[in-house]
Amino acid sequence: VFILEIFVVEAAPTIPFPIPQTNSDPPQKVREVIFLIHGIRDRARWQALVKRILEEVQGVVVVPIKYGYFDVFRFWLPVWTRGAPIRFTQRQIQIGKNEYRVDKYSVIAHSFGTYTISKVLQQTQDLVLERLVLCGCIIPSDYPWEHLSGRINNPVINDYGTRDVWPFWARKLSWGYGDTGRYGFGRSDVTDRAHNKAHGDYFEEQFIRDFWKPLFETGLIQESQWEEQAPKPGWIIETLSFMPLKLILLAILTGIAIYTAMAVIH
């Protein structure tokens, strides 16, 4: 024997939870990562401008690398001072590669940053670049690009300025640097583009949109006609280019050191 009881209960009104508003567009797929490497006497504020413009290109992510303020004294010294920025840059590129697993990695480097990436490429056998853009370059003209065959998929672009004196003095007064940021490489394996610019003039919005954005957007290498129009170099710079300034400077410093030592002894 059992008793069956049935209760009819009206359902309480449900609480309306708001539906989160989501972007209907699918997340953008990253296809290329561009590393930015700065130069000396530079807090790299220009990297924000380059990042903003180039990330307008669909699928592009820009990663600024900042190894810190690198003063002129450490820039001139040929030993002991250059290794830290090179090691830091190499680590940051590897970290970026680990974070973004894509097929294309590229670099835009300025001034001492060009020297840095040249050393990273020599020391890192597994680094393959889609594109490499140099400006204010201080890499020597005899740099062995041919040894990097197959590791840079597109022509190396060297944007150099005919009013840029820093690469000239870097080559004349220190060791390991070149003046390719003033005169170009003049080689078949590097595409030189001359501009009416000084050392830090590349970071203007119009220049970036005219010369760098098309390169990463469509692969277009926009030509520059400035070399045909550029005035002849000044006679002072041309005269100094034939003088062994490094040896003269070394002789002066050696003489000062000897004179100081003799003065201390006496």
Helices in 22-82 by DSSP H: which ranges?
46-54, 72-76
CB 106 within 8 A of CB 33: yes
pLDDT in the model for residue 119: 97
Distance of CA 165 to CAs 25, 183, 218, 241, Å? 48, 10, 32, 12
pLDDT attached to residue 97: 96
Tally DSSP H helices, then E strands, for the chain.
Answer: 11, 6
Question: Which residue ranges of the chain lie beneath pLDDT 70?
Answer: 1-2, 4-27, 235, 240, 242-250, 253, 259, 266
Supply the Cα-derived Rg of the chain in whole angstroms: 27
Res 25: pLDDT: 54
Structure-token pair, residue 145: 């690009």
Q: What is the pLDDT of residue 247?
A: 66
Per residue in 89-131, pLDDT tens?
A: 999 999 999 999 999 999 999 999 999 999 999 999 899 999 9
pTM: 0.81
E-only strand ranges, the chain? 32-37, 60-65, 104-110, 132-135, 156-161, 190-195
pLDDT at position 14, please? 53
CB 245 within 8 A of CB 173: yes
37's CB contacts (< 8 A; 6+ apart) are: 65, 89, 107, 108, 109, 110, 113, 114, 116, 117
